[in-house]
Structure 1
């Protein structure tokens, strides 16, 4: 039951992110930094209000827990939490830039590379074990990414930066335990806001006056940032970083479908083959969970 609950949280978070381009593409006329500034600042305000007013007792309880931790554990939790804020900031900026100034498919490719990076990093850093089926899924993923890189060689550098930043975030937060996940996320976003604040006066344009900008930024901040990130951190309590990495493929598959059918970006047979392999790799990687659920339903 616990595994299913955490697994569902991870699945839902990536489905939500799959629709991100629908909210982000209409903001193409605005600078990537401006979108990032207002996204982070609005998230910081919303989450601070929730933590201080709605979840005040949780905040007090976690402050007590943090103070009661041994010095080394406190240092580790603080370091991993702040490092997560830095990695999120980098990931968001590069993703917004690639999505709006390169292509939706290039942003999608970043999250095709990311699961492989996450799985490999988790294998070496967290000593997470993989079955033969799961290694087969990783090989399928590598094959599909190799096919796509031949067709989009100019996009690979951008995609690798986006992928690496989020892969490191997932693996680092798997090791970040002991405090309430919503509170950890609040601290990370506040830290991200503090990182960006000194750059705002010099690098921001005029404050947008169009209502549609603020509607979409609010949608991105709440539905596309706070909700899925919290679900991600929650899911990491019960599923491995490797499983999270493979489930991350849901995001680029949805991005690819939206790029094709909604934004009408061109497609070729290599891309169709590569994305088909990705879909197959998700099924292969999760074969234990899929067939266990089927056996439970039949018994």
Structure 2
């Protein structure tokens, strides 16, 4: 096990643990529209990342990256996927659908594994195929609830997996990449802030240090795990990123059931049972695969 592999694994565990705490943070912003929260995430993330770039004297790298048209195009795509993920996540949290977010991040490793196998030629294992079948069976059960199919769960899983795919193929460091992503979103975000933000939100921010402080914290809270995610995804195989991701939905599931007391019916329980069975298969398969020498470069 190389030093790079160890660092990547630690970064992945830290990243997903922080993301698991996100519902607690966004619940603090209940009462503010999801789109306005996203705008503040963009603005304060851009501010926080530029401060970091100045601190580590990496602005030259940003200028070099801004001159690469192909790289900018890829980062624009990842920025759009990031924006979609933020909107879905915040909307679901404020709508008391943390359970759906939990389901989404449970099934996300399936997309990671499929994309890793198809796009990056990473090896998979038989237990992984069984896991895919189990999870899709669990999702199929949800079709029985026509009015409650977990569309948010499927969307958040697909969108974030595609974001990881795009970022994995980019030759840009994590901090620079995130700054350019937020920079791409910054001008539309500022236009939205000044032209479409409700007067009620503006008044609340102007007269309450609470709202201002919580919104400013969106900068480091958003940026730090994204930086560590981008750093981790270039150091370890993509399937292993999916394995570490189980930390996030497990924390969210616990919050949804025990803290927010969200309701779930028998079909929801059955679906989660299939998903958890799939996870067990993934864990067993990954453990068996790692008993043998693996190609840490993912080639």
**TM-score, normalised by the number of residues in structure 1:** 0.83
Aligned length: 283
Unpaired runs of 5+ residues, structure 2, are 294-299
- Asked if the contact 1:122–1:128 (Cα under 8 Å) also holds between the matched residues in 2, the reply is yes
Shift of 1:94: 1.6
**Is 1:228 paired with 2:228?**
no
- Asked if the contact 1:247–1:282 (Cα under 8 Å) also holds between the matched residues in 2, the reply is no
- Asked if the contact 1:106–1:155 (Cα under 8 Å) also holds between the matched residues in 2, the reply is no
Shift of 1:217: 2.5
Give the Cα–Cα distance (whole angstroms) in 1 for the partners of residues 145 and 283 of structure 2. 25
**Is 1:238 paired with 2:238?**
no
**Is 1:160 paired with 2:160?**
no
Greater share of helix residues, 1 or 2?
1
Find the counterpart in structure 2 of residue 181 from structure 1: 174
- Asked if the contact 1:33–1:204 (Cα under 8 Å) also holds between the matched residues in 2, the reply is no
**Is 1:60 paired with 2:53?**
no
Shift of 1:87: 0.9
**Is 1:142 paired with 2:142?**
no
Give the Cα–Cα distance (whole angstroms) in 1 for the partners of residues 113 and 46 of structure 2. 30
Shift of 1:137: 3.5
**TM-score, normalised by the number of residues in structure 2:** 0.83
1:12/1:140 CA distance change after superposition, 3 Å: farther
- Asked if the contact 1:10–1:232 (Cα under 8 Å) also holds between the matched residues in 2, the reply is yes
1:282/1:12 CA distance change after superposition, 3 Å: farther
**Is 1:194 paired with 2:187?**
yes
- What SS does the corresponding residue of 1:286 show, helix, strand or coil? helix
Give the Cα–Cα distance (whole angstroms) in 2 for the partners of residues 103 and 248 of structure 1. 19
Give the Cα–Cα distance (whole angstroms) in 2 for the partners of residues 252 and 94 of structure 1. 15
Shift of 1:109: 2.2
Shift of 1:233: 0.4
**Is 1:82 paired with 2:76?**
yes
Find the counterpart in structure 2 of residue 287 from structure 1: 287
Shift of 1:15: 1.0
Q: Compare 104-113 and 280-289 and name the one that shifted more.
A: 280-289
Give the Cα–Cα distance (whole angstroms) in 1 for the partners of residues 280 and 161 of structure 2. 21
- Asked if the contact 1:81–1:187 (Cα under 8 Å) also holds between the matched residues in 2, the reply is yes
Give the Cα–Cα distance (whole angstroms) in 2 for the partners of residues 24 and 62 of structure 1. 30
Give the Cα–Cα distance (whole angstroms) in 2 for the partners of residues 15 and 155 of structure 1. 27
Q: How big is each residue's C-alpha offset from its partner over 1:102-148, in whole Å with a ceiling of 9 and x where there is no partner? A: 51112222223322223223332333331223333333443444456
Q: How big is each residue's C-alpha offset from its partner over 1:12-54, in whole Å with a ceiling of 9 and x where there is no partner? A: 1011101111111232211001111111111111111221x21
